[in-house]
Amino acid sequence: MDVLFEAEARGLTAEAVADSRIALAEDDPEVSGLNPYTVTVARGVTEHAAHVDDLISAHLQGWTLERLPAVDRAILRVAVWELLHAEDVPEPVAVDEAVELAKELSTDESPGFVNGVLGQVMLVTPQIRAASQAVRGAGSPES
């Protein structure tokens, strides 16, 4: 989540920030590297940024993505990416982790807000995953 927050603050993609941190850790043994899952999330959120942001925006009521606190945007982007693309992360776990991050890092209202948005996204996640698999299946050669 901190990679996404830093990326937004610096006007970079999450993937670029992750790559720069990896390079820094390789050059300086005193700098700890990134967890491989963090790199996967950063690259995934970058690759699917438009779709993730569109999905979040479609489920905001009375808000725009740009008006949300930056930390809430980062939390939602990670969680929505996990809901759509991290098959090894159960949906309730992704939502619970996002809500806990919001409790720890954001405003008093943010945990409920994040939970509400992600609850709405969870309702459409099965259809989105099915459509994505159908598209991938249509693109592969028949046996």
- CB distance 72 to 4 below 8 Å: no
pLDDT for position 130? 84
pLDDT in tens, 21-36: 999 999 999 999 999 9
- CB distance 14 to 2 below 8 Å: no
Dist CA 13 CA 101 (whole Å): 21
Q: Which two tokens stand for residue 35?
A: 């967890």
pLDDT for position 30? 93
pLDDT for position 100? 98
Q: What is the pLDDT averaged over residues 60-78?
A: 96
pLDDT for position 108? 97
Residue 69 has pLDDT above 90, yes or no: yes
Q: Which two tokens stand for residue 95?
A: 């939502």
pLDDT for position 79? 98
In the chain, where does the domain assigned CATH 1.10.940.10 lie?
49-143
Q: What is the pLDDT averaged over residues 72-94?
A: 96
pLDDT band at residue 106 under the 50/70/90 scheme? very high
Sign of the Cα torsion 31, 70, 89, 51 reads negative
pLDDT band at residue 143 under the 50/70/90 scheme? very low
Q: What is the pLDDT averaged over residues 46-71?
A: 96
CATH class of 49-143: mainly alpha
At CA 7, angle to CA 30 and CA 71, rounded to 5? 105
Averaged pLDDT score across all residues of the chain: 93
Residue 132 has pLDDT above 90, yes or no: no
- CB distance 115 to 95 below 8 Å: yes
Share of the chain above pLDDT 70, in %: 97
Count Cβ atoms within 10 A of the Cβ of residue 141 and give its class: 0-12 exposed, 13-18 middle, 19 or more buried: exposed
Q: For the chain, give the longest Cα–Cα distance.
A: 54
